[in-house]
Structure 1
Amino acid sequence: MTSEEKIICKNCILPNHFLSIGVNDAGLCDFCADSHHKTENWKKTFVDEQKRRDCLDQWNALIKKLQKTKDEYAVLLGYSGGKDSTALVDTFLHQYHLKPFLITIDTGFMTEVAKENIRQTLSKLNMEDSHLFIEDAAPVFTELYKYIFLNHDSNEKALTVDVCHTCTDLIHTILVKEAMKRGIEYVIIG
C-alpha cells in the first residue's frame, strides 16, 4: 500500500488521511477502533444511564424553580426558527407553562423564506412581542467568516470547526448580553 492510497473505514466510511485519521489492518478508522480517540476536531462523549437520569433530575428541578417565579420571561432562548428550537418554544409554552424571550440572529445565511417562516411561526405561537430579530449582525459574521477562511492554516483541524466554534461563541455572547440587559437569569440555546 502506498501512502497515497485511499482506504475507507469499513464501519463509518471515513477515509484514511482525512484530518490525520488512520485506518488499521482490521479496516477500522482511529475513531471506530478506539472509542476514546480524540483529535482537535472530535471526541466521543458517552452518557451513561445514571448521568442521563442525573441531568434530567437537574432539568426538572430547574423547570419547577422557574414555574415558581413571577418573572415575565422564564428564560432567554436562542431561536433559529428550525424544528428543534420551535419544539423547544412549544414545550416551554404548552408543557411547562413558561414564557421564554426569543432571540434570532441572522449570521448571514438566513434566507428571506426562513425569515418569513419564523414570523409566521411566531404569529401562530402568539410570540411576536417576545422576540428580538437581530438582522444587522450579518456583516460582522461575514467579516468573521472571511478572516477565518483566509487565515486557516491547519492540516489537522477542520476549517468548519473554526468557523462553527467561533460563530457559536459570538452567538452565545450576544444571547448572554441580551439576557443580562433584560434581567433574565437563564439562557437556552435552541
Structure 2
Amino acid sequence: MKHSFEAVSLLTTSKGMLEVTIIPAMNQPDWIIPSSLILSIDDYDERIATYLWQQQEVAVFHLVPSDQPVDIIVVLEGNTVAHRLALQTVGQPYQMQVRISDVEDAELPERYRQIAQSNSDANHDDDDNNDNNNALQSDHASNENSSNDAEDTADKRFRENVVTSYMFNTVVIDDEPYLVPDLDKIAHQLVDLDS
C-alpha cells in the first residue's frame, strides 16, 4: 500500500531519513510529527485551552481525555504565526529517525476504532441533549443566545476525542501504529473556534 505521509519535503539528504518526534497520546495511537516543526516542549500540568508562548496565545489541542492529568505542552510551528498550535499530553515525547520507505499506510486498529466510535456516540448524545435544551428556551432567551448557537455549531464540526476524521492518517512503523495529524486543518479549526 502506497503511503501518503505528507512530510516528504522534510527528508534529510542522509539516506532518505526523516527526523520525527513521537508524542504520547491516550485512547489513540501516539502522534508522529516532523521534529523540525517543534518550537518548544515545556512542562505544564494545568489543562488549558490557550497557552501563552513568547507573548503569543497559542490554541491547545489535547491528546488525553479531559479527566486525565497532563504534564507536557508541545508548541508547533504553523503556516502563519496565528496558526501555531500546542499539543497537551502526559509523558515525554521522543525523537527517532525513520526511513520513508518504512512508513506504511494502515487502518486505525480495532481497539482505537471502538474508542473513537464510543466517543463519537457520546458527542452525538451531548449534541442531542443540547438541541433539546435549546428548543425549550423562549424566543427572548434564544435571541440573547444567538452567539452561543454559532459556537455550538462550530464546536460540532471538531472534536478532539474523535480521531476517525479526515484530519488523521494512520501509519505503521515497525508494526507500531501512529497517527499523522493534518496540523494545518487542526490549527485552522482551533483558530476559527477561538475567534
TM-score, with normalisation over the residues of structure 2? 0.26
Q: TM-score, normalised by structure 1?
A: 0.27
The structure with more helix, counted as a fraction of residues = 1
